Amino acid sequence: MLRIEAVSAGYGEAVALRGVDLEVGAGQVVTLIGRNGAGKSTLLRCVMGLHPVRSGIIEFDGRNLAKIPTHRRARLGLGWVPDDRGSYATLSVAEHLTLPPVVGPQPWSLERLYETFPALHQRRGSPATKLSGGEQQMLALARVLRMGARLLLCDEPTEGLSPLLVQQVGEILRQAKQHGVTVLLVEQNLHFATSVADRHYLLAEGRVVESLDNAEVLEREPELLAYLGI
């Protein structure tokens, strides 16, 4: 579903990505792991069209995204779940879930979302910025599921969450996968990553240095945790 070939990007004279190659198959959950500054979030932003690519190719479902702006990428089925949650101060929880357009063939209904996220149902009339950090993360996930996005781009969805909420995020991603949703996420929590993902790409200094399956990550967990500084 997603093919990235020789992608390079940067900020001014600083190079963030150096010829990145990776693929994500339809219905897979794939994580990007690496130290801070390795280029993980920049890569997600390039896929979504939020940061320019200097060279290389990004294809979604066989379509080159080079000349497609961010809002049209969203309509093609890319769902963005940023690390800052992306909430709007003037919109209520319900408005966050009803205003975005439905773009995919299998959008989650409001009833299903409220059943999956009972806290959002209870707070549906509240401004999103009045929610707790965990509730805002749930709202960010619910919003793209409501749109019917086919590929979720999640930037550290478990950061700052309690262990219980981390478990809930994992269950939601597994449910999404069961319904054919593809996920590419940045994640530092290796235990969480192996509980939801099929494959992991290790980035270092803007390059993909290894592709690992769950068995390889678990076998090398002490080494990888030491490398990541966790």
Task: Report in angstroms the alpha-carbon separations of 212 from 14, 154, 190, 202.
Answer: 28, 19, 12, 8
Eight-class DSSP state of 66: T
Among residues 211, 145, 217, 200, which one has the least CA distance to residue 174? 145
Rg of the chain over Cα atoms, rounded to whole angstroms, equals 17
Among residues 155, 78, 92, 161, which one has the least CA distance to residue 128? 92
Has this prediction a pTM greater than 0.85? yes
> What pLDDT was estimated at residue 93?
95
Residue by residue, pLDDT tens for the chain (230 residues) are: 999 999 999 999 999 999 999 999 999 999 999 998 999 999 999 999 999 999 999 999 999 999 999 999 999 999 999 888 778 888 999 999 998 888 877 789 999 999 989 999 999 999 988 888 888 889 999 999 999 999 999 999 888 888 888 898 899 899 889 888 999 999 988 889 999 999 999 999 999 999 999 999 999 989 998 888 75
CA distance 200 to 33: 7
> What pLDDT was estimated at residue 175?
87
Helices (H), ranges, the chain: 40-48, 70-76, 93-98, 110-116, 118-122, 133-147, 163-178, 190-196, 214-219, 221-228
> What pLDDT was estimated at residue 134?
85
Instruction: Provide the CATH topology of domain 2-228.
Output: Rossmann fold (3.40.50)
- Domain ranges within the chain, ordered by starting residue: 2-228
> What pLDDT was estimated at residue 230?
59
